[in-house]
Amino acid sequence: MTPILVELSRRSADADRGSAFSLFSAALATALVIGSIGAAPIIDTVGFEVALLTGLVAVGGAAIVAAADRGLRAHPRRAALPAA
């Protein structure tokens, strides 16, 4: 969670940072609800192992999306300020 919040802070401006964090919190809560409700029929029909595999595939897809995001690539280090 910490790297996500740091990146969200870096990508949002001071004027809209509060909105960005509130939207993130709402999206996280919604995802948890949908995941909990969506996993129940999968577990009921085919078992916990398939539900776990489905989650792992989704995490793998998210990793691919994150790896393709140019904004997450390393930034060049800023030059040190000259000593006074």
The count of other CB atoms within 10 Å of the CB of residue 43 is 14
Mean pLDDT of the chain: 82
Residue 34 has pLDDT above 70, yes or no: yes
Condensed to tens digits (0 to 9), the pLDDT of residues 46-72 reads 999 988 898 899 889 988 988 887 776
- Which pLDDT belongs to residue 25? 92
* Distance between first and last Cα of the chain: 38
Band the pLDDT of 9: cuts 50, 70, 90. Answer: confident
Looking at residue 79, what is its pLDDT?
47
- What are the residue ranges spanned by the domains of the chain? 2-71
**Residue 9 CB coordination number (10 Å):** 11
Percent of the chain, pLDDT > 90? 14
